[in-house]
């Protein structure tokens, strides 16, 4: 199986030993505590689950700036985005060397992790601007990821963490949330050697289904890892439970047995386009995937990125030896009326837009809310029914 990024083995920071975890939970109650923002809480979950291997905690300012500018930490580790614990005020910490981190996403704000404080530093406004422009390629306050980052605060608390729980993900997504450790273990149990990963924050229509099948065939993969983002999205995105139901129904009906794993991970979407595409590749290498699909406008939002910027970054900015995972570069896929099948648009140069079955997201939502069936060439009826029930329930 492919090695994790920067390590021979995964480095999950979740404390597995129950007695040790109980002791740490007791210790945490006596420590000064801070309430994390959702971004830092999701970073803690990812560190705990091994997705951020080989990182062992939150970055300091030097590493964050180095990653923003060069996609490498100060020590030379390739990493595409800063992983920070940012706060507005550190007065409650005082001179403590160890603090409890509280979860903003669970009622009562339970302790999610303990952090050893390496340093408490301040990001200047110029440094915040630099990180925003390098990672998000914009500082436009209308960009949801850039706006969130610029609102998190300027105090940086760096240091190793010990993770005590996986926030709300274990309970709310018990059948779907998986750590990188668990995914690797299941890949081994299934006897898969080659695995192609597919990232999604949306339900999968027929074009997505066929894209996974195309990638599996092209890479000769034993299986496909459909890996859903379960964390915070932007307003208007379809809730994770609805996506989960729709995707599972599609896999159940339209994929052969033992060819797909449907899983999810607890991370807040950055909408950082190219940089987030690289981060997604790191996650999938750590999961055990040998190949990863990056399609048109991967991890993008609005018109902030070119259609294939998340692919060309691997040519222009990612060193050849930075990652072991291979990138499967996909074009927009759609049903061809001429060929009576789903194809990548680049593979049908003789087609015009009218030769494809294309529906905008707005049109899809309007049809579903009105109880209108989607074209079978666009969406499987079983999937469309689940989405229709959701849209009609909110109108």
Residues forming the active site: 201-202
Number of other residues whose CB lies within 10 A of the CB of residue 239: 11
Distance separating alpha carbons of residues 103 and 62, to the nearest angstrom: 26
R_g of the chain, CA atoms, integer Å: 21
Can you read off the two tokens belonging to residue 347?
A: 């593979």
What angle in degrees, to the nearest 10, is found between the helix axes of 273-287 and 180-190?
50
Q: CA distances (Å), 105 to each of 36, 90, 115, 268, in order? A: 9, 20, 18, 11
Q: Are 5 and 323 in contact (CB under 8 A)?
A: yes
Query: What is the C-alpha separation between 301 and 243, in angstroms, rounded?
Result: 19
Burial pattern 312-349, b for ≥16 Cβ within 10 A else e, equals ebbeeebeeebbebbbbbbbbbbbbeeeeebbbbeebe
Q: What six digits make up the tokens of 311?
A: 């692919």
Number of residues in the chain: 395
**CA gap 132, 247 in Å, rounded:** 33
Three-class DSSP category at 122: strand
Tokens representing 340? 């009576």
Sheet holding 333-336, edge to edge: 341-344, 333-336, 356-357
């Amino acid at each position: 199986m492919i090695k994790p990024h920067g390590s021979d083995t995964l480095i999950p920071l979740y404390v597995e030993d129950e007695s040790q975890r109980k002791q740490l939970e007791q210790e945490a109650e006596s420590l000064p505590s801070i309430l994390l923002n959702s971004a830092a809480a999701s970073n803690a979950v990812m560190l705990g689950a091994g997705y951020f291997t080989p990182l062992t905690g939150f970055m300091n300012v030097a590493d964050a700036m180095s990653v923003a500018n060069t996609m490498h930490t100060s020590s030379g580790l390739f990493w595409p985005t800063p992983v920070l614990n940012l706060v507005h005020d550190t007065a409650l910490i005082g001179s403590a060397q160890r603090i409890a981190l509280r979860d903003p996403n669970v009622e009562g704000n339970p302790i999610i992790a303990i952090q050893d404080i390496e340093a408490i530093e301040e990001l200047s406004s110029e440094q915040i601007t630099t990180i925003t422009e390098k990672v998000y390629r914009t500082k436009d306050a209308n960009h949801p990821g850039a706006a969130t980052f610029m609102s998190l605060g300027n105090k940086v608390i760096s240091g190793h963490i010990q993770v005590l729980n996986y926030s709300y993900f274990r309970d709310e997504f018990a059948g779907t949330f998986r750590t990188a450790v668990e995914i690797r273990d299941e890949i081994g149990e299934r006897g898969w050697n080659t695995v192609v990963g597919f990232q999604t924050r949306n339900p999968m229509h027929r074009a997505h289904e066929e894209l996974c099948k195309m990638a599996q065939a092209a890479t000769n993969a034993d299986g496909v890892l459909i890996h859903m983002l379960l964390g915070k999205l932007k307003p208007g995105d379809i809730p994770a439970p609805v996506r989960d139901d729709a995707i599972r129904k599609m896999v159940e009906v339209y994929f052969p047995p033992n060819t797909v794993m449907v899983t999810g991970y607890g991370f807040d979407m950055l909408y950082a386009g190219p940089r987030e595409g690289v981060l997604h590749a790191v996650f999938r290498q750590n999961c055990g995937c040998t190949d990863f699909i990056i399609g048109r406008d991967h991890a993008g939002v609005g018109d902030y990125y070119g259609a294939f910027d998340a692919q060309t970054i691997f040519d222009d900015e990612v060193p050849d030896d930075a990652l072991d995972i291979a990138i499967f570069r996909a074009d927009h896929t759609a049903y061809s009326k001429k060929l009576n099948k789903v194809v990548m648009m680049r593979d049908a140069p003789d087609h015009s837009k009218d030769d494809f079955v294309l529906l905008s997201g707005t049109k899809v939502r309007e049809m579903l809310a009105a109880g209108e069936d989607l074209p079978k060439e666009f969406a499987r009826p079983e999937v469309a029914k689940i989405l229709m029930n959701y849209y009609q329930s909110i109108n």
